[in-house]
Amino acid sequence: MSLQFVVDGLLAGSMIGLGAIGVTLTYSILRFSNFAHGDFMAWGAYATLAVVGAIGAMFGKIAPIAPLSFGWPLIAAVVIGMAITGLLALLLDMVLFARLRAKGQAIIVVMASFGASMALRSLLEFIFSSRPTYFSRAIQIAMPVGFGIRITPDQIALLLLTAVLVLSVHLLMTRTQTGRSMQALSQNAALARIVGIDVAKVVRVTWIVGGALACVAGVMIGILIQIRPFMGFDMLLPMFAAAILGGIGSVPGAVLGGLIIGLAEAGAVQLIGAEWRAAVSFIILMTVLFVRPIGLFGVRER
Amino acid sequence: MSQTVLDVRNLEAGYEPGVPIVRGASITVGKGEIVVVLGPNGAGKSTLIKAIAGLVPVTGGTVLLDGKDITAAPAHTMVRLGLAFVPQTENIFPLMSVEDNLKVACGILKPRETPARIEEMYAAFPDLARHRKTAAGNLSGGQRQMLAVARALIVHPKVLVLDEPSAGLSPKFVAMVFEMLAGIRISGVTILLVEQNAKAALAIGDRAYVLVEGKDRHEGVASELWNDPVVAELYLGQRRLDPERGRHSGKGSAA
C-alpha cells in the first residue's frame, strides 16, 4: 500500500478539525448543536471568492506567489472572508438563535439551526448557482517527498496554516482573559456573570472565532477540491464526529478528532474501498464512545 | 454606626412576576461591619441577597452602594460597582485550576496589577497557594469556599456578600470558614452574609437581622441576638401559635 493516504488524511482532517473547533465551542458555550456550521464554511468560501473577484477587478491580474497556486489577493480575501463569516454568524445569532435561546429550550435552537442551514445553502445556490467553481484552475504538480508520498506546495501551505490557527486558538483559550471567560462560561454560566464576565460579549467572540475558522476550512476545501453550495453541509457529519470524538468543549480534542477521522477515511478509501469511507470513521467514533463516552479530551460534567 | 456602605430599602423581589418572595426588606451594612441575615427556611434570605447582587428580578425598593443606586444592575456589572457575591453552591469553576479561577475574576483589574493581586490572595490563603495548578473541582469543601471567597475579594469589593458559606460543609470546615471570615473583617472588608448556622454566624457578626416571610422583622447586636426570645420566636416560626411563647414575643418587642 502507499502512504499517500497520510497526506490526504491530514488535509481532510485539517478541514474537519477547523470546522469542529467551531462546533465544539458553540456546543460547550451556547449549549446547542449548530447544524448551520457547515454552511458557514460554504459562505466563507464564497465570500472569499467574491472578494478575490473584487480585488481582481480593482488591481487586474496578479501573478500567484510561486510555487503556490494563489497570490496575495487570495490571502487578503481570506482575512476579509473570515471577518464576513464571523459577522454572518453574529448576525444569525442576533436575529435567530439569541431570541430562541431566551425561551430556554435547546431543542428549538437546534431545529432552528437546521432551518438556518437550509436557508443559507439555498441563498448561496440562488446567488452563485449550484455549479461548482474554483479559486484557480491551475494544475499543481505534486512533489515526491519519499515513502511514495506526493504533496503539492498548496497542501504544505494549508497544513502549516492549520497548525498556526489551531495553536493560536489554543493559546487564546488557555492564556488570555477572553479564553478563560469562555471556559468559565461553558462550566457555569451563572457564576461567570457573578465574577463579572459579560456573557453577551463572550458569546460574540465565540461566534466570530467559530465563523472565522469555518471560513478558512471552506477556503481550504475550495483550494484543494472545489467550491459548491453543499460543500459545508457535506462536512457536517465528520465535523460533529470529530467534536464528539475529541470531547465536547476541547479545542485540541476537536482537532485531534478531525485528524483521526480524516486519516481513517483516507485509509479506508485505500484499504477497503471508497464506499466504506463514512462507515469507518463512524465505527471509530462509536468504539471510542463505548470505551470513553466523554471523548478523548472530554471532561465529565459536574 | 459608622458610615453606611450598603443601604437596602423596602426591597421587593421574586423569580416570577406577581409572586414576591422578598416583600419590603430593609437592611443596612456599615463600613467594616459583618452583618448577618438570619431567618427560618423559606424566609427569602437567599433571594434577598441574590436580588441585591442582581441575580433575581427586583420589583420594588432600592439598593444603594456607597450612596450610588445599583438596584437591579446587571449581575456582571456588580463587581465593577463594588459588590462581590459568593453563591452558596457551585461557586467555583471546577475544571479550571485554582490560579485560573482567580485570574478569570480579575477582568476589572488592570492587567499588570493582576499577578501581584493574585500573590496577595495566595499570601492571605496559603492553602490555595499550595494548590495553584490543581483543578478547583478536586479541592476539599473548605478549600473551595476559601477559593470562592478569595476570588470575590480579589477585585477589592466595597462589600462582600455571601450566601450560606457553611452550607454542606463538615463541622471542621464550618469552623474554618467562619474563622476565615473573621480574619477578613479584621483587614477592613465589609461583609453581608446569610446563614442557617445562626450560632456560628452571630459569633463573628456585629449586627443581625431576622428575616421572616420576606420582611426584616427584627434587628439587633449580634452578640445579644442569640439569647433574644424574639429571635427564637421568629426563627422557629411555628411556635407563634404556642400561647406560652406568645408572651415572650410581647416582652421582646417591648424591650
| Listed residue (B204, B203, B232) closest to B217, CA to CA | B232
Choose among B90, B96, B137: nearest Cβ to A184.
B96
Range of B50's domain? Answer: 4-82+158-254
Please give the span between the terminal C-alpha atoms of chain A, in angstroms, as a whole number. 46
pLDDT > 80? residue B24: yes
Question: Are A299 and A248 in contact, with CB atoms under 8 Å apart?
Answer: no
Quote the radius of gyration of chain B (alpha carbons, Å). Answer: 18
Domains: count for chain B: 1
Query: Which chain B residues are Cβ-neighbours of A187 within 8 angstroms?
Result: 93-96
Instruction: Kindly list the structural domains of chain A, giving each domain's residue range(s) and its CATH number in brackets, ordered by start.
Output: 4-291 (1.10.3470)
Backbone angles phi, psi at B29, to 5 degrees: -130, 120
State how far the Cα of A17 lies from the Cα of A242, in Å rounded to an integer: 7
What are the CB-based long-range contacts (under 8 Å, 24+) for A147-152?
A147/A3, A148/A2, A148/A3, A148/A4, A149/A2, A149/A3, A149/A4, A149/A6, A149/A7, A150/A4, A150/A7, A151/A7
Residue B13 Rama label (left phi>0; alpha psi -120 to 50; beta)? beta
Contacts of B92 in chain A (CB under 8 A): 191
Three cell numbers at A239? Answer: 465535523
d(CA A40, CA A55): 22
Q: Is B175 on the interface with A (CB under 8 A)?
A: no
Q: How confident is the model at residue B249 (pLDDT cuts 50, 70, 90)?
A: very low
Chain A's closest residue to B111, CA to CA, is A177
B25 inside domain: yes
Answer yes or no: is B46 within a domain. yes
CA distance linking residue A56 with residue B12, whole number of Å: 64
> What is the domain-level CATH number for residue B221?
3.40.50.300
Chain segment B150-183, per-residue pLDDT in tens: 999 999 999 999 999 988 888 888 888 898 898 8
Above 60 in pLDDT, residue B237? no
The CA distance from B22 to B144, in Å, is 29
Q: Is residue B50 less than 8 Å (CB to CB) from chain A?
A: no
Residues 115-154, chain B, touching A (beta carbon < 8 A): 137, 151
Contacts of A178 in chain B (CB under 8 A): none
- Asked if residue A41 lies in contact with residue A214, where contact means CB atoms within 8 angstroms, the answer is yes
Say which residue, A280 or B248, is predicted with more confidence: A280
pLDDT at position B185, please? Answer: 86
Is the predicted pLDDT of residue B25 greater than 50, yes or no?
A: yes
pLDDT score of B135 more than 90: yes
Instruction: Please determine, for residue B252, whether its predicted confidence score (pLDDT) is greater than 80.
Output: no
pLDDT at B243: 46
CA B205, CA B27: separation in Å to the nearest integer?
14
| Chain B hits for A198, Cβ within 8 Å | 76
Tens digit of pLDDT at every position of chain A (302 positions): 678 889 999 999 999 999 999 999 999 998 889 999 999 999 999 999 999 999 988 888 888 887 888 888 999 999 999 999 999 999 999 999 999 988 878 889 999 999 999 999 999 999 998 889 998 877 778 888 878 888 898 999 999 999 999 999 999 999 999 999 999 999 999 999 999 999 999 999 999 999 999 999 999 999 999 999 999 988 998 999 999 999 988 888 999 999 999 999 998 888 888 888 878 878 888 888 888 888 888 776 54
Q: Is residue B135 part of a domain?
A: no
Question: What was the pLDDT predicted at A106?
Answer: 82
Q: How many Å lie between the alpha carbon of A248 and the closest alpha carbon of chain B? A: 14
Compute the mean pLDDT over every residue in chain B, rounded to the nearest whole number.
Answer: 87
How far off is chain B from A195, nearest CA to CA, in Å? Answer: 5
The pLDDT-based confidence of B14 (bands split at 50, 70, 90) is very high
pTM for the predicted model, two decimal places: 0.88
Asked if residue B200 belongs to a domain, the reply is: yes
Helices A4-30 and A251-271 cross at an angle (nearest 10°) of 140
Is pLDDT of B242 > 60?
A: no
Who has greater pLDDT, B18 or B53?
B53
Mean pLDDT throughout B239-249?
A: 44
Question: Strands across the sheet with B58-65, in order?
Answer: B22-30, B4-13, B58-65, B68-69
B64 band by pLDDT with thresholds 50, 70 and 90: very high
Please, which residues 262-301 of chain A have a Cβ atom closer than 8 Å to chain B?
A: 299
Whole-complex ipTM = 0.87
